[in-house]
Structure 1
Amino acid sequence: MFKNNVGGIDRILRILVGAGLLIGFVLNRDSAYSWLYLIGIIPLVTGLLATCPLYSLFGLNTCPMKR
């Protein structure tokens, strides 16, 4: 469906940040703005799938070249 364009450290950071934000949502569920933590779904999914639609739109690619 989408071409892999997220790789290496970029992918790891996306997964860690996304998971951290979702954990923050669970821990701070009573806060008025806790729903903002749900934005962590985006970096988590793009990190797990190794594809980012915005990277495709702007022609960016952090995956190593295949030989």
Structure 2
Amino acid sequence: MTRNIGQLDRAIRIVLGLALISLVFVGPQTPWGWVGVVPLLTGLIRWCPPYALLGIDTCKKP
């Protein structure tokens, strides 16, 4: 698994994931907040399966 998520994309995914997960505990308290686990994990491991399938790479290469 080679990295395909850049710094900005990573930061957005982590913030979005944490915001969605917080919906489980605060706010409408809906189980849909657990969907936030997906962007959180892809942001932490810096690899996104759909990006790999579509050939998208937001990571800067030296």
TM over 0.5: yes
**TM-score (norm: length of structure 2):** 0.91
Are 2:42 and 1:46 equivalent residues in the alignment? Answer: yes
Are 2:31 and 1:35 equivalent residues in the alignment? Answer: yes
Give CA-to-partner distance per residue, 1:23-64, whole Å, 9 cap, x none: 1111143xxxx1111110000000010000000000000000
1:59 aligned partner: 55
The runs of at least 4 aligned residues of structure 1 exceeding 2 Å deviation read none
2:7 aligned partner: 8
Q: Which runs of 5+ in 1 are unaligned?
A: none
**TM-score (norm: length of structure 1):** 0.85
Q: Which runs of 5+ in 2 are unaligned?
A: none
- Which of structures 1 and 2 has the bigger CA Rg? 1
Q: CA RMSD in A?
A: 0.9
1:25 aligned partner: 24
Size of the aligned set, in residue pairs, is: 61
Identity of aligned residues (%): 34
